[in-house]
Structure 1
Amino acid sequence: AVIGQWRSDHAGEIVEWEDNPDYRPSPEAMGWPEPADEVDRAVQLATTGYGPAEDVTAALAGAEVAVPVTADGDPVSASAPDGTAVVPVYTSPRYLRGLGQLASVTLPLKELLARIPAGHSLCLNSSAPVSMVLTTEGLAEVLAETAEETTAPTL
């Protein structure tokens, strides 16, 4: 869809701009860089309405993530802008670099979920052009479904 159109009067003079209410800017139109990985691609597409949110959890289910840790090795707890308790996670070195020289560990999402403090969500790629907060319950459900699919007998 186009962003809008200029309207002209009966004499052909341009008189006003008319926005297209159905226009959805793509990630490229938003000026975002190429996605760093499949999770980042799914986040960009879901955020702009060009892909389903389920693709984010599906891509994340099979990913290894980096998580900043405390001196004791526990995941760092932070707060999202709305006050939600989160653990920041990163799927790409591009976004992890934003942490500077802070300690982090990389592990499969399934292992990380077992270490997340109660009541916390995950803040995905907080230094990316677009980030997403995901509940651990929703991710645990996707991981369980994925595990069932891979262990289901084939006929």
Structure 2
Amino acid sequence: MAQRDEADRLLPNPQPEHKTGKPKITEEMRANARANPNSWLYVIDEAFDPNGPVPSWAVVGAYPVNGSGNIVEDFHPNDRYRPSPKALGFPEPRNDLERLLQLVRTNHRPASDLPPVILDSTLFVYALAPMQRTVIGFHNTDGRVLVPAYTSKSLVPPEWPHARAVLGRDMVPLLAGHAVAINPHDVVTAVVPAEHLVAALEQEQKP
């Protein structure tokens, strides 16, 4: 739910932190260890296929395997590990933009990938009346004006009088230079400057 203070400013929600504990040792892991004594048993993030290509930052860590093929419960975490949205327990994304937001939030994709996808996404923006064709922004806690936009109608704050659906590219000319806050106060959010969206539109026009 969108929250505002007495000055009608958007208030951020705290973001969840991931705490890497010792991964549970399964029977499959024990069988793998027995087949590979005197080695390391690498634990892969659940979003990746361990039989396919796995980037180094998708390795949670490793257990040593002794000469008898037994796992030594002395887990060595990978300090380069980037937990996936699935590992963090993020909700199942309902569309491409939500999926990308999660990947950007977890550093699996760069933020620069967002503007082109926003242009082709349907967003829900604040409206005082159903037929309103402008967008409305609110002051952030640092004084900036942000235009809130939600990726799903179910995320729209219930206190809003109306929410109208608008294609991202159709919203850009209405922003008057103000940044867009995608899903403010949800678990995964992003603030995208208007100039980045304008640049994405201009990039489309290049041959």
TM, length-normalised to structure 2:
0.58
1:75 equivalenced with 2:132 (yes/no): no
Per-residue displacement from partner, 1:67-119 (whole Å, max 9, x unpaired)?
102469442322345543200011222322xx11521222222332222244x
Stretch deviating more after TM superposition (104-113 or 25-34): 104-113
Superposition pairs for residues 4-23 of structure 1, below 5 Å?
4-5=61-62, 18-23=76-81
Residue equivalent to 1:11: none
Stretch deviating more after TM superposition (48-57 or 127-136): 48-57
Contact 1:95 1:126 in 2 (8 A): no
Q: Aligned to 1:88, which of 143, 148, 155?
A: 148
Per-residue displacement from partner, 1:111-143 (whole Å, max 9, x unpaired)?
32222244x210011243210000000101101
Unaligned segments of structure 2, at least 5 residues: 1-57, 65-71
Would you tell me which structure has more helix in proportion to its own residues? 1
Number of matched residues? 144
1:52 equivalenced with 2:118 (yes/no): no
Per-residue displacement from partner, 1:37-95 (whole Å, max 9, x unpaired)?
10111111112121232322121111222110246944232234554320001122232
Distance 1:89 1:79 in 2: 14
Amino acid at match of 1:91: T
Stretch deviating more after TM superposition (137-146 or 46-55): 46-55
Distance 1:15 1:32 in 2: 28
Question: Which consecutive segments of 4 or more residues in structure 1 shift more than 6 A?
Answer: none
TM, length-normalised to structure 1:
0.75
1:106 equivalenced with 2:185 (yes/no): no
Distance 1:42 1:36 in 2: 11
Radius of gyration: which is bigger? 2
Contact 2:118 2:169 in 1 (8 A): no
Q: Sequence identity of aligned pairs in percent?
A: 26
Unaligned segments of structure 1, at least 5 residues: 8-13
1:129 equivalenced with 2:187 (yes/no): yes
Distance 1:101 1:82 in 2: 23
